[in-house]
Amino acid sequence: MQIADVTAFPTSFPVSARAGERLGIGKVVKRDAVVVRVRTTDGLVGWGESHHARSPGTVGHLVNRTLRDLVVGLDAADTVGVWTTIYTAQLASHGLGAAAAIAMSGIDMALWDIRGKAVGWPVYRLLGGASRPVEAYAGGVALGWSEPGFLVDEVWPLVERGYRAVKLRIGDNPVDDLARISAVRSAFPALQILADANTAYDLEDVRRIAPGLRDQQVGWLEEPFPPHDHRSYAAAARFAGVPLAAGENHYTRFEFHRLIEDGAVSVLQPDLSKSGGLTEVQRIAALASAWKLPLNPHTASTGLNMAATVHLLAATENAGYFEADVSHDNLFRDELVSSSITVRPDGTVLPPEGPGLGVEVDEDFLAAHPVIEGPGFVR
C-alpha cells in the first residue's frame, strides 16, 4: 500500500456580517483552509487538513510542489517513516520550518485516515483509545469583542446546548476585556470561563488584568504574547495567578520541549493541523504526560481536524478539553465534511465511529470554493 498521489486544495469562503468576529488578530473577513487528499496504489483515499497559516495558496503550493515528490512511493502505513522523510528534507536543515510542519500535518492526518480505512477501524482504536466522552468547551472563531450584554446573549444558547465551558476573546484592552468577562460570570456563576488574548497583550496589560481574572475565576489566560516571547511568559507566570496557555503557534515536539521545560506555560495547545499531525502530537502528548500536564488541543477550520482531535483525545491519558467550533456559518464544518462533531447534553463529545477519521469530504464543495487570495483578518 504505497502513496500514489498527494493533492492539496486551498479553499476559502467570505464570511457573513454576523460571522465577522473582531479578535486580537483582527476582524474576520473570510475563512481559509487547506484540505489534503492522499491516494494509495490500493485505491484508498485519505483526507487531512493543513492549517491555512494566513496564506492558504502558499501552503497548498508547498504540499503540491515539494512534499508530494518527497513521499510518493513510500509506504502509506508507515506514518513514522513518512514523517521522518519530510523532517529530514524540510525541518532539519534549509527547509521552510513552520510552513513545512503545517504542510506535513495534513499529509500525516490523511495517512491516519487511510490506515483506519485499510483495517476498518476508527482512528481512536488505532491509537489505543476507546469511544470515551471528551469534555468540550465552546470555542473557535467566536465570542469576540462584543458589547457585554450581547456577549451574554451569545453564550446563553451555548449553555443550553450543554456546554459547561466557554472561551472568550480578549486582547482589546484590560478594562473592556474584564467587563466582558465579568458580565458572563455574573450571568453564569458555574460556567468555566477561559480567556484568549490572541498574542495582543504586553506585560503591563497582563499586570492590569490579572487581579480581575483571578477574581472572576478564569480557568486560563491563553497566548497573551507571541510564542517566541519566552521572557514575557516567564515574567507573567510569576504574578498572573491564573494558568498560562499556549501551543497553537508552536511546531513539533522540539518547540514544545522548551515550552514545557521553561515551566511558565501549564496548558499545552498543539494543533494537529499545524504541529506535525497526529504522529507528532502523540509525541507531544507523551512529553506532556511526563510533566503531568494536560493536552488541550487547538482546533482549526474544518471538520477534518475537529474529528482527528477528538480521536486523539479519546486515546490520550492526559486529555484535556476539545475546542468545539461554535462560530457562525462555518461551511468547512457544516458543508465540506459528511458530519460534524456535536456536543452532548453533559458537555462532552464522542469520536466518530466510521473507519479512519469517520468523515468524508465533498469534492464538489472544494471545486465550488477556490482559494480567495489576501488576508483573512484585517485590522
Residue 340 in grid coordinates: 460534524
Is there a single domain that holds both residue 195 and residue 335? yes
Taking the C-alpha atoms of residue 83 and residue 303, their distance in angstroms, rounded to an integer, is: 23
Assigned domain for 255 exists? yes
Residue ranges with strand state E in the chain: 3-14, 22-23, 26-28, 30-40, 45-50, 134-139, 165-169, 192-196, 221-222, 244-246, 267-268, 322-325, 348-349, 377-378
Task: Tell the residue number behind the cell numbers 454576523, with chain if given.
Answer: 18
Is there a single domain that holds both residue 143 and residue 243? yes
Is there a single domain that holds both residue 15 and residue 140? no
Instruction: State the total domains in the chain.
Output: 2
Is there a single domain that holds both residue 144 and residue 243? yes
Assigned domain for 377 exists? no
> Is residue 18's pLDDT more than 80?
no
Is there a single domain that holds both residue 263 and residue 244? yes
Domain carrying residue 180: 124-363
222-256, pLDDT tens digit by residue? 999 999 999 999 999 999 999 999 999 999 999 99
Assigned domain for 272 exists? yes
> Is residue 20's pLDDT more than 80?
no
Last residue of a domain, one of 81, 96, 119: 119
pTM to 2 decimal places: 0.97
Residue 45 maps to which CATH number?
Answer: 3.30.390.10
Taking the C-alpha atoms of residue 270 and residue 280, their distance in angstroms, rounded to an integer, is: 10
Is there a single domain that holds both residue 98 and residue 194? no
Contacts of 205 (CB under 8 A, 6+ apart): 173, 174, 197, 224
- Give the Å distances, CA to CA, from 152 to 12, 23, 208, 267: 30, 17, 23, 26
Residue 266 maps to which CATH number?
Answer: 3.20.20.120
Assigned domain for 371 exists? no
Largest CA distance in the chain: 59
Is there a single domain that holds both residue 248 and residue 313? yes
Assigned domain for 99 exists? yes
For the chain, the distance separating the N- and C-terminal CA atoms, rounded to the nearest angstrom, is 47
Is there a single domain that holds both residue 278 and residue 181? yes
Supply the mean pLDDT for the chain.
96
269-299, pLDDT tens digit by residue? 999 999 999 999 999 999 999 999 999 999 9
Residue 317 in grid coordinates: 491519558
Give the residue among 33, 34, 35, 46 at the shortest CA–CA distance from 3: 46
Taking the C-alpha atoms of residue 351 and residue 123, their distance in angstroms, rounded to an integer, is: 9
Tell me the helices (H) and strands (E) count for the chain, helix number first: 14, 14
Give the residue among 144, 193, 108 at the shortest CA–CA distance from 25: 144
Q: Is 28 helix (H, G, I), strand (E, B) or coil?
A: strand
146-201, pLDDT tens digit by residue? 999 999 999 999 999 999 999 999 999 999 999 999 999 999 999 999 999 999 99
Is there a single domain that holds both residue 157 and residue 114? no
DSSP letter, residue 88: I
Last residue of a domain, one of 88, 103, 119: 119
Last residue of a domain, one of 67, 102, 119: 119
